[in-house]
Structure 1
Amino acid sequence: MGKTFADKVALVTGVGPGLGQGVALAFAREGASVVVCDVNEEALAATQKAVEAEGSACLALRCDVSDSLQVREMFDAMMARFGTLHILVNNAALTPNRAIDTERRNKLYSYNSTPVPRDTLGFTSEISDEEWHRCWGVNVHGVFYCTREALKVMQPQRYGRIVNIASIAGISSKSAHSPHYSATKGAVVAFTRSVAYEVAGANILVNAMAPGGVATPAFNAYLENIGEEARNRLWQGCPTGRFGTVEEYASTVLHLSGEHYMVGQVVSPNGGSTI
């Protein structure tokens, strides 16, 4: 049997350990030529090595997607190497993973699972201008910059697939501890639907995946550190009692990148967290 994406070129942004790397590897295993980018050069090199080990051609480029010039230069390099683009996965994002974010997350989880009087959690009033703008720079502006350049390639050829990685944070209150992150992912959802309507007539299908928790090495370490009681509190909000694996989420991205009839949809694999 042939590989599903043997004749395709796929660009995946944000390919550090976790979902981005997993998606790049999934494309490689299905025969695609893969372009990968990240700001972390060590992570970028590791992903390139892993993709090439699967037998696929790989172009690895350092790119800060919040910088439109760097995005244009990345696309120029991709076109010089492969001459086209069939699939764009906008995965690069800043996630709430600093010490203050962990503190806020733990506060929310405890509030959601402990019978205490209701009160404000005090998150939004503590968000700085720098936190807000930094998050929007990568999570929203970066999605726009990459999509704009991709469409310049996809529209003339009348073919393309764009998968924007949103989040359960953008469609629910599950990430109320990070209002700045939630706002950006909600924006990604709205942008997905608007662009999807615009370009569907040219056989360019744009959809989003809004994952729940991803069992990345970093998040597994977090779960280990918070202890059994806190973990059990967390699972009260997830019927499956676990987060999705990178491979499970990557399979959804591959489906949205293939041949189907989905336009402007937001698919949310989340273990039942938003039933």
Structure 2
Amino acid sequence: MHKKRIAIVTGAAEGIGQASVKELQSIGCHVVQLDIKFDSFTINDDPNKTLYKVDVTKEDHVKQTFKEVFDQFGRIDILINAVGGSLHSKKIEEIEECDWNSNFDLNLKSAFYCTKFAVPYMKQTKWGRIVNISAVAGRTSTFFGGADFASAKAALIGFTRQCGFELASFGITVNAIAPGLTLTDRVRKMWDDYSEEDRNFIMERVPIGRPSTVNEQAKAISFLCSDDASYVCGAVLDINGAMFVG
């Protein structure tokens, strides 16, 4: 990148979000980190980082935070919508309306709000990179969630494609990655609780023969944010070890 970019990463406290923060910092971005798990609304204890405690499923929280970021830095160049995840592994007949709504809020509404409020600032500079974190569940099926999770991640892919179509002419690219089995701290705890038989059953369905690391996912995200990916827009990059081939 030719100049310092201002990046916003949601879900920055852990997992792929946290790995993306480190990766973007390594290529010279100033990364504004958003996560509901941070200790206070704004933390500026280190001049090299900016942290916000934000619930990105709340429209007013997102709108105010993005305004503050723009007021402080004068631009927003990159948005990584990394908030999300599977909230349960219920079968379809066990899923309640509250489960459905919670999964869509976390995995889809959060990306909608953040994209909605980032785009006007990106249009001012006629340059932007937005990367959404979908999942192989949104491409096919999942061992780690229910139909509500898979549906939300599939909807996020549709959201990505439409936004890419709408925003490409403004110099803003919108893409998604579809991770497969990735050993975040949350998934690792679930993985450790599985029997050896269950783990073997799952691994037989991962053609590459191993789980992904969060760093492998972050490298793909970094590429989509780079000038090298300037003609990639509305795409889904499958970082899932051939779990989805289509």
Is 2:67 the counterpart of 1:32? no
- 1:238 equivalent in structure 2: 206
Indicate how the Cα distance of structure 1 residues 248 and 6 shifts in structure 2: closer, same or farther if over 3 A, else same. Answer: farther
- Whole-angstrom distance in 1 between the partners of 2:164 and 2:143: 26
TM-score, with length taken from structure 2: 0.92
> Structure 1: which amino acid aligns with 2:100?
W
Matched-pair contact (CA < 8 Å) for 1:71–1:145: yes
> Structure 2: which amino acid aligns with 1:130?
C
Matched-pair contact (CA < 8 Å) for 1:15–1:44: no
Indicate how the Cα distance of structure 1 residues 161 and 177 shifts in structure 2: closer, same or farther if over 3 A, else same. Answer: closer
- 1:41 equivalent in structure 2: 38
- Whole-angstrom distance in 1 between the partners of 2:42 and 2:238: 30
Q: Which has the higher helix share?
A: 1
> Structure 2: which amino acid aligns with 1:14?
G
Indicate how the Cα distance of structure 1 residues 43 and 211 shifts in structure 2: closer, same or farther if over 3 A, else same. Answer: farther
Q: CA deviation at 1:16?
A: 2.4
Name the larger-Rg structure.
1
Q: CA deviation at 1:150?
A: 0.7
- Whole-angstrom distance in 1 between the partners of 2:17 and 2:68: 20
- Partner-residue secondary structure (3-state), 1:253: helix
- Whole-angstrom distance in 2 between the partners of 1:80 and 1:155: 16
Equivalent residue in structure 2 for 1:182, among 128, 134, 150: 150
Q: CA deviation at 1:14?
A: 0.7
Q: Single out whichever of 203-212 and 171-180 deviates more from structure 2.
A: 171-180
Q: CA RMSD in A?
A: 2.2
- 1:271 equivalent in structure 2: 241
Is 2:62 the counterpart of 1:68? no
- 2:80 equivalent in structure 1: 89
- Partner-residue secondary structure (3-state), 1:254: helix
> CA deviation digits over 1:28-73, x for unaligned, max 9?
1111111011111259999x88xx6xxx722111111110000011
Question: Which ranges in structure 2 are unaligned for 5 or more consecutive residues?
Answer: none
- 1:248 equivalent in structure 2: 216
Q: CA deviation at 1:127?
A: 0.6
- Partner-residue secondary structure (3-state), 2:57: coil
> Structure 2: which amino acid aligns with 1:262?
V
- 2:4 equivalent in structure 1: 7
Equivalent residue in structure 1 for 2:68, among 59, 70, 77: 77
Equivalent residue in structure 2 for 1:196, among 145, 159, 164: 164
Q: How does 1:123-202 map to 2 (within 5 A)?
A: 123-175=91-143, 177-202=145-170
Is 2:18 the counterpart of 1:21? yes
> Structure 1: which amino acid aligns with 2:58?
D
> Structure 2: which amino acid aligns with 1:222?
M
- Whole-angstrom distance in 1 between the partners of 2:131 and 2:42: 23
Equivalent residue in structure 1 for 2:197, among 226, 229, 240: 229
Indicate how the Cα distance of structure 1 residues 20 and 176 shifts in structure 2: closer, same or farther if over 3 A, else same. Answer: closer
Matched-pair contact (CA < 8 Å) for 2:86–2:144: no
Q: CA deviation at 1:80?
A: 2.2
Matched-pair contact (CA < 8 Å) for 1:5–1:31: no
Q: CA deviation at 1:6?
A: 5.1
> CA deviation digits over 1:74-128, x for unaligned, max 9?
11221122111110001111423x5xx2xx5xxxxxxxxxxxxxxxxxx212110
> Structure 1: which amino acid aligns with 2:157?
V
> CA deviation digits over 1:123-167, x for unaligned, max 9?
212110111111111211111111011111011211101001111
What is the aligned length? 243
Q: CA deviation at 1:5?
A: 7.2
Equivalent residue in structure 2 for 1:212, among 162, 169, 180: 180
- 1:117 equivalent in structure 2: none
- Whole-angstrom distance in 1 between the partners of 2:135 and 2:40: 22
TM-score, with length taken from structure 1: 0.82
Q: CA deviation at 1:272?
A: 1.4
